[in-house]
Chain A
Amino acid sequence: MESVEDFRLRARAWIKANLGPVQPWDLDQDCENDEEELVAVARDRRLQRTLFDGGFAGICFPKDYGGLGLTPAHQRAFNEELVGHEFPSRFTVPTFSPCVAVLLEFGTPDQKAKHIPAILKGEEVWVQMLSEPGGGSDVAGATTSAVRDGNEWILNGSKVWTSRAWWADWGLCLARTNWDVPKHQGLTVFLLKLHQPGVEIHRIERLTGESEACQEFMTDVRVPDSLRMGEIDAGWTIGQRWMYHERIGHNSPYVTRPIGLTGKASDLTSPVAIAKRAGRLDDPAAQELIGEARALSIVSHALLRRLAEGAASGQGNVDTSAIGRLFSGLARVRQNTIAFELAGADAAAWTEEEEEETGSQGMDFLMRQVSCIGGGTTEIARNVIAERVLGMPREPSGDKGVPFRDVPRGPKRG
C-alpha cells in the first residue's frame, strides 16, 4: 500500500493542479436562491467527478466499488491538503456519512455495485429519511409503514428534516414492517428513489427564509424487495450504526472536506473581521472573545482527532462519538454567540450590500441552536455519554417490551 506521506505529496500536487480556490458557498452551503443552489449542485457533481477521474474519490472505499482501498490516515492527509481549495461540499454529509457508510456496511453486493460507484462519480446525492414529524429524537419510534405485497413493499408515511431532498436523488428510509413487536424489533431499511410517483416533497421554510430542509409525504409508494437493506425487521441493527455514522458526520473517514487550523482563509465573517468592522480590534474585551473563539476551534480539532484515534486504536467505543457531537454543538453555539457579541448593533439591521458580511451575524444567532439539534440533539448525546460511556442507569421508558402498536404516542384521551 502506498505510504501516507507519498500519498499526501501526490494529493498535494494533484489538488494544486486540478482544484480552484475555496468558495464561500463551499463552507456554509448557503445559496441566495434556488437557481444559484442548482448551479452549485451541478458544480459539486462535476467536482466529485473530477475527484473520481483524478483517482482521489472514495479513498477508504474498497477497490471493488470504485474506491482506492486506503486507510483513514490517507483520507485525513487528503483532507489536510484540501484546505483552501474547492471541494464537493454537497457530497459530504449526509451522502458519504452516514448514507454511503451504511450502504457499505449493510448493502447487498448488488446495491453496493450499483450505487457506490455512481456516488463516487457524482451521479447520486443521498439523503437520510429518518426523522418523522411525530418522532423528534426517538428515531426508532418510526411510524412510516412498509407492507409487503408479493415482491414489492408499499410505503406510507412521512419523513422530515431531509436536507436538500428537493434536488437529491436517493434516500435511506427507515420504516416499520412489524407493529406487533417492541419498537426496535419491527423496523426495516429501504433504499428509496426520491423522485417517483407517490413521493411528494415539500420545502420547509426556516426562520431565516431559507428552505433547504424538506418533508416527504409517501402515499402507496411501491418499492421492489431488491431495494430492501438487511433482513426484514432487523433495521435497528442498521439503525444503530446509522446513528453512529451520523454522529461522527464530517469527522468520518469517508468524508472528503478540508480540515486544518492554518487559519489562512480569512473571510468576511471571521471574528477578527467582525471586530474590525465594529472598530473593536483594540478593545481587550473583544480580543478576549476573538481568542476564545480561536481556542475553541483548536480544542474541537484536537478533540475530534483524539476521538478518531481512540476509535482506530480500539480504545474508544462507538459511543464516544457522542462526546464529539456534544462538544462541537456547544462550541459552535458559543462561537456563534461570540460573533453576535462582536458585531454589536450592526447585527440588528443592514443594507443590501452588507448582506454578506453583516447580515449573517444576526441571522446566524437566530439559528444558533441548530448546531445542537441537527444530526441528533445534544440531549440525546448526553444520554449516550452518561449511559453508554459512563455506564450510568438508563432512563425509564414507556415502550420497553411493549408491542409497538400499544406504545402511547400522545396523551390518553377520555
Chain B
Amino acid sequence: MWHSLSSDQEMLRDMTARFLGDRVPLARLRKDLRHDPAGFEPDYWAAGAELGWTSLLVGEEDGGGSVSGRGAVDLALIAFEFGRHAAPGPLVDCNVVASALTGQAGETQRHVLGELLAGSAIGASCLGAAPWQGAGEASVAIRRDGEDVLIDGSMRPVESAGQAAWLLVTGFSDGRMTQVLVPANASGVSIKALKSMDVTRRFGSISFENVRAPASALVGEFGRAGEAVARQIQAAAVMLSAEAVGAMDAAFDMTVDWAFNRYTFGRALASYQALKHRFADMKSWLEASHAVSDAAAEAVADRTALAAETASAAKAYIGEQGPELAQECVQLHGGIGVTYEHDLHFFLRRVSLNRLLYGTPAEHRRMLAALQIEREKAA
C-alpha cells in the first residue's frame, strides 16, 4: 500500500474499512455467514456499492468515477481492505464486468451497468478463453448464427455464479476472442454451486448449451475482444494482488504479535534467531508484494507501456509468495494455525484462492515470457 495518499483516498479507504469491520467481522464470517448461500446479506452489497465499490473503473459519463482520477489505484485501496478483512462479495468480477461495459452504447449494456453501479445486481465474468490459452484450450466457443451468436462450453470456477443476474461470457471464435453479455437465466445456461477452499466466497460452475444471444448483446465487436479481455485481466490482477497483500498484511501482523507473546523454553519466539530470520524473509516478501501491487495499479491506471507486464509480475509474484507467507505463518503458529477457531485460515484461504483466479503464476509467467520474446525479436 502507498506510503502517502490524498485525503480523499484515505477517506475512501477508511469508509470501506469501517464498513467491513462493522458488517462482516471475522466472528460473523466464521459463524453466521459460513453456510449462507451467498456469503453475505442482500443489502450488504448495495451498501458497499454506495461506498464506490463498483464505480471506480467506470467513466464519469456512465455514472462512475474515481476519487483520484486513477480508478485502478483507488480500487486497489478497496481491494486491500477486502483482503485485510477477508471480506465477502464479488468485488473482482463486478468491477471486471463494469469496466467491460463502460463506454458501450447498447441498451442492455447500459441498463446492466446501472444495476452494477447501484449494487442491485451482480455480474459474473466467465473467462472461457484467456490469453495464456491456445485456441484448442479454451473452454467456451462463441460462433455466429445469422444475426445471433451461439455460446457453447463451460467455465469454472466463477465467483458468485449462483447470485449473478448477468454473465459476461468470454469465448474463442475461430481463435479470436468474443465477449457477450447474457442473463444468468437465459435458456441453455445451467449453474451448479461448487464447494470451495474459501468460506467467505462462493463459486459455481456454469455451462452453456447452445445459448442464443442477439448481436446487440455483444460487448465490443465479434472476434475483436482480445485487447479488452487483456485489460480486464490486468484489472483483475490488480484487484486480486491488492486483496492478497491485504490478507498477507493481516496474517503477518498476527504472527508477529504471536511471536512476541508466545513463550517456549522461557523465551519469546521472537528471540530465536532461526525464527527471526524467517520473519525477516517474510517481511521482505510482504514489502515486495506491496511494492509490485502498487506499481501494477499505477501502471494499469495510467495504461503505461509496461502495464501488462507489471500486472502479470504482480499476479505471478504475489500468487507465489502470498500462500508461502501464509503457510509460514501457519507453521510459526503451530497446531493452532490449522484450527477453524483461529483467524489465520481466513487469510490463508484468501491468498491461496486468489493465486488461482484470472491466471495462475505459471500462466502469467508464460505471458511475461511471450512479451519478452516478442520484444527481443523486435530489437
Contacts and interface: CB of A to CB of B under 8 A. Distances in A.
Contacts, number: 152
B367 A295 contact: no
Contact of B283 (A289, A292, A315, A390): A390
Contact of B367 (A291, A305, A320, A327): A291
Interface residues of B, number: 45
Given A302-B288, A303-B288, A327-B284, A393 B271 contact: yes
Contacts of B292: 298-299, 302-303
A326 B284 contact: yes
A278 interface: no
A327 B288 contact: yes
Contact of A393 (B270, B305, B310): B270
Given A263-B372, A307-B287, A326-B280, A291 B273 contact: no
A323 B284 contact: yes
B163 interface: no
Given A323-B283, A385-B280, A291 B291 contact: no
A269 interface: no
A295 B369 CA distance: 9
A385 B283 contact: yes
A261 B306 contact: yes
Given A291-B365, A303-B288, A281 B373 contact: yes
Contacts of B305: 262
B313 A295 contact: yes
B368 A291 contact: yes
Given A323-B284, A385-B280, A298 B365 contact: no
Interface string A267-307: 00011110000000100101111111011101111110111
Contacts of A323: 283-284, 287
Contacts of A3: none
A271 B375 CA distance: 13
Interface string A106-135: 000000000000000000000000000000
A379 B277 contact: yes
B369 A290 contact: yes
Mostly helix, strand, loop or mixed at chain A's interface? helix
Contacts of A385: 279-280, 283-284
Nearest to B298: A302
A255 B292 CA distance: 23
A59 interface: no
Mostly helix, strand, loop or mixed at chain B's interface? helix
Of B268, B294, B365, most buried by chain A (CB within 10 Å of CB) is B365
Interface string B265-279: 000101101001101
B316 interface: yes
Contacts of A299: 288, 291-292, 313-314, 317
A263 B291 contact: no
A297 B13 CA distance: 30
Contact of A306 (B270, B277, B290, B370): B290
Contacts of B81: none
Interface residues of A, number: 53
B99 to A, nearest CB: 23
A196 interface: no
A272 B305 CA distance: 20
B277 A290 contact: no
A291 B364 contact: yes
B326 interface: no
B365 A303 contact: no
B369 A288 contact: yes
Of A296, A306, A322, most buried by chain B (CB within 10 Å of CB) is A306
B357 to A, nearest CB: 18
B295 interface: yes
Contacts of A264: 375, 379
B379 A302 contact: no
A392 B268 CA distance: 9
Contact of A288 (B281, B288, B366): B366
Contacts of A295: 312-313, 316-317, 364-365, 368
A310 interface: yes
Contact of B279 (A309, A322, A379, A386): A386
A328 to B, nearest CB: 10
B309 interface: yes
A382 interface: yes
Contact of A291 (B260, B288, B306, B369): B369
Contact of A290 (B287, B364, B368): B368
14 contacts: A263-B372, A270-B376, A271-B372, A272-B373, A273-B376, A290-B373, A291-B312, A295-B312, A299-B291, A302-B292, A382-B276, A383-B276, A386-B280, A392-B279
Please list the 6 inter-chain residue pairs (A to B) with the smallest Cβ-Cβ separation, ordered nearest first: A291-B365, A386-B276, A291-B368, A382-B280, A385-B280, A298-B313
Interface of B: 3-4, 256, 259-260, 268, 270-271, 273, 276-277, 279-281, 283-284, 287-288, 290-292, 294-295, 305-306, 309-310, 312-314, 316-317, 362, 364-370, 372-373, 375-376, 379
Given A263-B372, A313-B3, 19 more contacts: A286-B369, A288-B365, A291-B365, A291-B366, A291-B372, A294-B365, A296-B317, A298-B313, A302-B288, A305-B295, A310-B3, A326-B284, A379-B277, A381-B280, A386-B273, A386-B276, A389-B283, A390-B283, A393-B271
